[in-house]
Structure 1
Amino acid sequence: MKLKAVKIVLTSVLVLLLNIAFAQIGTRFPSEKKIVKDPVTGVELVFLTSKAKGDGKIYQTHNQWTADSKWLIFKSDRVRGEAMAVNEQTGDIVQVTEGGYMGMLNIARNSMKLYFMRRIGNRANPNNAVQIVEVDLEKLFKDSEAGTLKTADTYQKVCGTTPPEIGAGGDMALDGDEKRVYFRVGEADAAKHLAPNTKLEENFGPRKMGAGPAGIACMDLTTGKVNHVISVPFQVGHIQTNPWMPGEIVFCWETGGKSPQRIWTVNADGAGLRPLYPEADYEWVTHEAVITKDEVAFAIMGHRKIPGTNTNVAAGTEVGGANPGQDAAWGPSGTREKPTGLAIVNFRTRETYIVGQTPSGSGLWHVSGSSDGRFAVGDDFSRSLYLIDRQTKEMMLLTTGHKATAADHPHPTFSPDGTRIQIQSAMLSEDNRSMNICIVPVPQAWLKRVAPTKKP
């Protein structure tokens, strides 16, 4: 009888694991929500996930909340290869994809829809066709709660399939009017659209990245038609859009560190290509994010020692491992001999100003801002989070202790209403690496301040 009981238990466990491994879209998972007081600042942190399940937030260039502001969508290994949503109030977790996804998850701001890419065929072949998939979140959440789930094609539909020869993949961004998506194309296709005799850029920096050509294409979500947008002679990274200005694209020259010219913008028709912030050789510009209709926030890093100021350590070789940019091969940029900090550039006027910087350490690194123009936020190498009042330039430490050994960085993103910030955190992890989805509230005292009559 004991052996039989053991077999029954093992069989039940196996069935449970198989169900999790191949769970249906709409499958629900129990709440893991916890409120933890930051031991340094006293801020109450809302952990929407708290178990070691391979969680990770969407990159800070993209929207995190559903259009009804009730759910956050995130990456997870609860069901390998599938995305999850967590209800901010109840903590309920729901699987929102089935069949896998690749690249960036795109949450619509004006409709309860989710968009993503899915490679078809052999995943090892970089030139395979890619599907653009739409998920009807409203229908999915309703049926999931009611326990009336149907087949995946009830909630997911293919908007179109890219031609295999263009090598589509990588980052994807949803346009502000939610009618198109933009994505990278492969070198061969990008080269076809470059002007004759265009000089291709070589790799830049010790990570051997940055060489061109590369390109951006778009797909009409109604017709599935694909058009080429732009080709450039360098490696393209972090494609994003302006949610308030359809057809306005921001992307970067990706090198894995300092770029010769990091931030670029172009229109959907391929016109208007230009550096959004023309940078100097001594500036280490990184982690741009569109924050308002007219503005992009970015970091001008101040993380490296000034040559000759530390006789015990060679300049540029102070730190290694967890954080980038300390290798002397990156050149002279990233020191505080020149102004550094969280910078904001205006699309229309092209004016740039710095709203804040930490007095020491790496300086602000990944940045975001509230869409009403009131606040900015940034993390640093220690994974601490700083809030900035853009009107007064006051800066406060919101939370720390999120562990520099974490599998990734906090990547802060403001909620649409500007009252809270989402990060990913290893504060609760036993292995000091696994991350969870965490909400950091903007202090009520700051929210009660008189809002500006117009944006800075």
Structure 2
Amino acid sequence: MNLRFLLPALACAALCTSPAQAQIGRRFPSERQVVQDPVTGTPLTFLTSTPAGDSKIYQTHNQWTADLQWLIFRSGRAKNEAMAVNEKTGEIVQVSEGGYVGMLNVARHAMKLYFMRNPPGSAAPNSESSAKEAAPASLQIVEVDLAKVFADSKAGKMKPANTYQRVCGTTPPALQAGGDMALDGDENWAYFRVGRDEAARHLPPGTKLEANFGPRNMGAGPAGIAAMNVHTGAIKYVVSVPFQIGHIQTNPWVPGEVVFCWETGGKSPQRTWTVLADGSGLRPLYPEAETEWVTHEAVITKDETAFAIMGHRQIPSSTQAVAAGTPVSGANPGQEVAWGPSGTREKPTGLAIVNHRTREMTIVGQTPSGSGLWHVSGSPDGRWAVGDDFARNIYLIDRHTREMLLLSTGHKTTAADHPHPTMSPDGTRIEIQSAMLSADGKSMNICIIPVPDAWLKRVYK
């Protein structure tokens, strides 16, 4: 071989395997491919298609960049770093350097990404999911200028990471801050969970703390929420509650409106909660009954949050069995008798939507059998709702007509996680994570499902 070609090739090979390639702006070849759903015929656009440990951001948060051209996701391509994939070209770009903790927050108005991370040289990350609080530690909130990253990455002229990443501020160790973070609708504040010690200091005297609830031994309080101004680093305290907090999210269209849950790992005594940024207005978002298993709430419009009222548990068929304490049965998760009487179809179940202003709740759809809808989302214009079930089927609902369509299936129940559908900001497509293409039946990829053209063209009186 001509040395003129051999030497550059060897240099490139060395570069691709060096630690330097874990840097922000690193590019990966397109894996984009379109696959026809084997049952429904829906064209599925897989933006990633190799077993690289991909997963989407949780459905409580935005997925698309402000220009609607890129989706941010998590991947094993660069350990503990955020990735972006271009929806049209399939280009994949690493968009963080130095790791992150907990939730990725994609701004809707500016080409920015926000997340928490451990300061360089600090100890292991604080756990986002542990019921026990980690030892006091500080976390940085970091802003990434995505526009600069994409431009310089495309030009092949990347600069040091601090050109693109800005530390907004560092949380004091006493807060015991966690990685469950949410960006406010005005994109000025980032809300995050605080530890039990700090939360206890802000509870009114005499507040009764809640104990663990359910067989997963989760849910005990107290817990709290604080916020950091991403421009100044200033920190303010928002609220404390006597139970464990999970899934902090914001209303993207109403600054200062926060939604969160009482986290038990399953059914909660009162799942959904809302509070304003100044700590006022704390109340249950949807006051639920003991017989209702409410879960997976997501703010979908300026006035609405969608959630699932689960219908996944089968009750004993005879009075004698009930009297004997025979547990509910079925193949779905959450069948333990310790969850109580909720989750059966003796009461109304399905994809529910509650209006924050009127407090009216409606159920817009439900599967005829099986688990029922589980993870839910909807379009900001109020036209569509979408949900998955335990079998990884994806259902689309026309909120005007209540028509429900099986949009996609075959995403493998052996997958490492559930599809977690999220509607795009313009209401034309849905992002999921899927193991359909995986040989091991577990590794997931990022997939886009279009709303059918015939549905998009519908005109309502």
Aligned partner letter, 2:85: V
Whole-angstrom distance in 1 between the partners of 2:206 and 2:428: 50
- SS of residue paired to 2:199: helix
Structure 2 residue aligned with 1:122: 123
Residues 309/74 of structure 1: CA separation in 2 closer, same or farther (3 Å cut):
farther
- SS of residue paired to 2:368: coil
Structure 2 residue aligned with 1:78: 77
Aligned partner letter, 2:42: V
* TM-score, normalization by structure 1: 0.94
Q: Within 5 Å, which residues of 2 pair with 1:330-349?
A: 330-349=339-358
Aligned partner letter, 1:95: Q
Structure 1 residue aligned with 2:396: 387
Structure 1 residue aligned with 2:162: 153
Query: Aligned-pair distance for 1:306?
Result: 2.4
Structure 1 residue aligned with 2:281: 272
Structure 2 unaligned residues grouped into runs of 5+: 1-8, 126-133
Q: Within 5 Å, which residues of 2 pair with 1:26-105?
A: 26-105=25-104
- SS of residue paired to 1:144: helix
Whole-angstrom distance in 2 between the partners of 1:127 and 1:437: 35
Equivalent residue pairs, number: 441
Structure 1 residue aligned with 2:5: none
Structure 2 residue aligned with 1:317: 329
Whole-angstrom distance in 2 between the partners of 1:14 and 1:27: 15
Query: Aligned-pair distance for 1:309?
Result: 6.2
User: Between the two proteins, what is the percent identity of the paired residues?
Assistant: 71
Structure 1 residue aligned with 2:16: 16
Q: Within 5 Å, which residues of 2 pair with 1:213-362?
A: 213-308=222-317, 314-319=326-331, 323-362=332-371
The answer on whether the counterparts of 1:169 and 1:184 sit within 8 Å (CA) in structure 2 is yes
2:374 paired with 1:365: yes
The answer on whether the counterparts of 1:266 and 1:274 sit within 8 Å (CA) in structure 2 is yes
The answer on whether the counterparts of 1:374 and 1:451 sit within 8 Å (CA) in structure 2 is no
Q: Within 5 Å, which residues of 2 pair with 1:164-203?
A: 164-203=173-212
Whole-angstrom distance in 2 between the partners of 1:231 and 1:78: 38
Q: Per-residue CA shift, 1:283-316, capped at 9, x if unaligned?
A: 0000000000000000000000022269999542
Aligned partner letter, 2:100: Y
Whole-angstrom distance in 1 between the partners of 2:411 and 2:382: 27
Whole-angstrom distance in 1 between the partners of 2:26 and 2:268: 43
Aligned partner letter, 1:122: A
Whole-angstrom distance in 2 between the partners of 1:316 and 1:132: 44
User: What is the root-mean-square deviation of aligned Cα atoms in Å?
Assistant: 1.9
Aligned partner letter, 1:42: G
Aligned partner letter, 1:224: G
- SS of residue paired to 2:35: strand
Whole-angstrom distance in 2 between the partners of 1:310 and 1:436: 46
Whole-angstrom distance in 2 between the partners of 1:248 and 1:309: 46
* TM-score, normalization by structure 2: 0.93
Whole-angstrom distance in 2 between the partners of 1:197 and 1:170: 29
Aligned partner letter, 1:183: F
Query: Aligned-pair distance for 1:127?
Result: 1.6
The counterpart of 2:444, out of the listed 435, 438, 449, is 435
Q: Per-residue CA shift, 1:171-199, capped at 9, x if unaligned?
A: 10000000000000000100000011110
The answer on whether the counterparts of 2:315 and 2:329 sit within 8 Å (CA) in structure 1 is no
Structure 1 unaligned residues grouped into runs of 5+: 1-8
The answer on whether the counterparts of 1:308 and 1:315 sit within 8 Å (CA) in structure 2 is no
